[in-house]
Structure 1
Amino acid sequence: MADNAKEAENSETDIEKAKNENNNHFSDEKTKERAPPGINGSLVFLYALFFSVFTVGVINVNRCPLNRLIPIYLILAGILGALAKFLSKFDNKYCFWITVILVLVNLFWHGLGSFVVYKEYQPSYESTDELYCNRTTYLVAFWTLTIEYTLLVFFILLSGCYVLMRKDFFPEKLNK
């Protein structure tokens, strides 16, 4: 009888151990970090934008004699943006520094692109003119830059609002 009791007790503890192992197995699966669906969707949109800008630049590289840097700006902006975003996913310190360098180069390239694109505002789109620029190429460059500047101002304003709404910004209110 004592042997049966020990066997029953051992089998119960074995069952509990198996349940705990199964629960731990499932809890490990649930705790895996997953990006929220909105983040994945925005990354797809961002990569599609980089690819589109790059593609428009490549297709129309010889269709802007007004200023050849406009399609080249699009090509490099697409490559630099996608590469910097891709490398920012890794936790390697070398990838971090490469990403920092890419972002700095992208900022310089963005400034140069702004000068080139806004300087040639309202070019001739007719290919019969000697100095023309393909309509799609110019408008993609123009609106890409304009939207980026608009978003920059928006995020600066949001950051300012966040700083002003924090309680530690006004120390005299904390004492009351």
Structure 2
Amino acid sequence: MAAGLEKACHRCLSHMAGNVCFIFGLLAFLALPLTMAFVGVKTIDDCPIQPMIPLYLLVGGVVGSLKVTLLLYDTTRMRSLLSKSVVIGDDDDDEYPWRQNAHKYHVHVVLSTFLFIWFILGNYWVFSVYVPNFIPPFHRPQDYCRKSLYIFSVFVLALAHSALVLLLSCTACLYVCSRTSTREDYGQD
């Protein structure tokens, strides 16, 4: 059973890595963390009421760019390995080409964990000052946040929340499908 699941994962990953649209999608997705880093740098002093908001964008953008770049590298590496060839037989004990080295796996886990914790902190920092003053008050000039910075931060968090809900929904659907399917559904004995 585990070998069948591994083969199914191999086919799925091979199909994704072989799809040029997936690579272009990753390249397009790289625009978001790069934009986050750019906005964070440009507005580093424009939110005195919560100075962590521009820092959240800057650090999240840099680490997110690194994560997407590593995913692009892994995908192009997988494409080159697949183009060289892999026909996997049932009794083939060789490593599948999509398996990563342990250190690369740990790098992805560390980056993903950091980004998730940073996302939680970003939610706290952005929503702790929900709808701040966008124009500096005369009596307290430090109690404001630049409107474009704040709106962009809320947009980034809303996009991340949407992606998280989509990911969790797909995972739940896959789990339910894997629990309800049988070997007869796939024509296997």
For 1:162 and 1:54, the matched residues in 2 are separated by: 34
In the TM superposition, 1:38-77 aligns within 5 A as: 38-77=21-60
Instruction: Confirm or deny that 1:145 pairs with 2:168.
Output: no
For 1:66 and 1:142, the matched residues in 2 are separated by: 16
SS at match of 2:30: helix
Task: Tell me what 1:169 maps to.
Answer: 180
Residue 34 of structure 1 deviates from its aligned partner by: 6.6
Q: Taking every aligned residue pair, what percent have the same amino acid on both sides?
A: 23
For 1:82 and 1:39, the matched residues in 2 are separated by: 17
For 1:83 and 1:162, the matched residues in 2 are separated by: 28
Task: Tell me what 2:12 maps to.
Answer: none
Structure 1 segments unaligned to the other structure (5+ residues): 1-32
Larger relative contact order (C-alpha < 8 A, sep ≥ 6)?
Answer: 2
1:162–1:97 distance in 2 versus 1, CA, 3 Å: closer
**Stretches of 4+ aligned residues off by more than 6 angstroms:** none
Compare CA radii of gyration and give the structure with the larger one: 1
SS at match of 1:123: coil
Equivalences, count: 140
Instruction: Confirm or deny that 1:83 pairs with 2:94.
Output: no
Structure 2 segments unaligned to the other structure (5+ residues): 1-15, 75-99
Residue 92 of structure 1 deviates from its aligned partner by: 4.2
CA contact (8 A) 1:56 1:136 kept: no
Task: Tell me what 2:115 maps to.
Answer: 106
For 2:117 and 2:30, the matched residues in 1 are separated by: 21
SS at match of 2:156: helix
87-96 or 45-54, larger mean C-alpha shift? 87-96
